[in-house]
Amino acid sequence: MLEIQEKNSTDGYEEIVKSCGDEKLHITEALDRGEVIGYIAYSYGKDKTIIYGYDHRGDLLLCDGLVRSVLFKSCLKGINKAVFMLSDNEMYKPLQKLGFLTENSNTAENIDSFMNGCQNCRQAEK
């Protein structure tokens, strides 16, 4: 069964920690029967969440779940903007395909309304 959980430390993610500088990095992992199958690395700022990297092993639905988990937690903190600072330009493509980002943009704004938009889609399906 898939679980998405925030990790209590950054052990095992030293390369990402190094690339983030002094930011307080958070890691959320996707686990399947206790085995890590993906992650997302991010930090919270005053008015934005910065996403530094993720690994979804080519699974678009896993990518969607990891990003949504971070956006949801951002909304709970009153943060309505996410900036993706990814080291590999190819990592933006799944985010664009999923509708988190538009082409040539690394910023998702109004994430609260984006997250509520999913609720509207479910209501329209009924």
Q: What local confidence, expressed as pLDDT, does residue 16 receive?
A: 87
pLDDT of 69-83, one tens digit each? 999 999 999 999 999
Query: Do 81 and 113 contact (CB within 8 A), yes or no?
Result: no
Calpha distance 54→48 (Å, rounded): 17
Model pTM?
Answer: 0.86
For the chain, the average pLDDT equals: 88
Q: What local confidence, expressed as pLDDT, does residue 111 receive?
A: 85
Domain residue limits, the chain: 2-125
Task: Classify domain 2-125 at the CATH superfamily level.
Answer: Gcn5-related N-acetyltransferase (GNAT) (3.40.630.30)
Query: Do 42 and 17 contact (CB within 8 A), yes or no?
Result: no
Run of H or E residues at 13: none
Beta bridge partners of 14: none
Structure tokens at 51: 């996403």
pLDDT of 49-70, one tens digit each? 999 999 999 999 999 999 999 9
Calpha distance 8→78 (Å, rounded): 22
